[in-house]
A = this chain, B = another copy of it.
């Protein structure tokens, strides 16, 4: 049982790395197999096909990620503080585990366009955590009541995601992400505040 889980995990971790480096379409299943240290065929014992591997990878990792982010929402802090922590956590997770970052980059949203019959529910959940914080903030008076929650949950995610991407593409210097986080959080909180 544990053995089996290990192998599945092994393949997922390998896939994250390989897909992130080469892109889903240019990566070969054989590349993932080699990276995972298993035979090509082994992958098909755990995943229906290459697409399923990508989807499973998302689901698995997003599960973990969502759990981490959801802890923020329930804390007894102000919505503005929650947004600050959310942004910091986003970059912390990326800094701590590049593979996690790569999950967000590799075909993350594109996939929902090109993989048949896959609607990326986890991604929607992720956006909604931001949305929840914003809504809460409007109620609490931390944020202007005239802002459109949907607009800003998307905009905030876009800003975070693009910064992460550029950081990964560059030689990603130490500590830079923390600065990104602080600057960005401060600016968004200020921008969204009433008066």
Bound together, the chains give a CA A114 to CA B22 distance in angstroms of 6
A29-37, A40-48, A57-65, A180-188: which lies at the interface: A180-188
Q: Is A163 an interface residue (CB 8 A)?
A: yes
Q: Is A52 an interface residue (CB 8 A)?
A: no
Assign chain A's interface to a size class.
35 or more
Interface string of A66-100 (1 = CB under 8 A from B): 00000000000000000000000000000000000
- Interface residue ranges, A against B (CB under 8 Å): 22-26, 107, 109-110, 112-114, 147-148, 151-152, 154-163, 165-166, 169, 179-180, 183-184, 186-193
Top-4 shortest CB links A-B: A158-B162, A191-B191, A25-B25, A155-B159
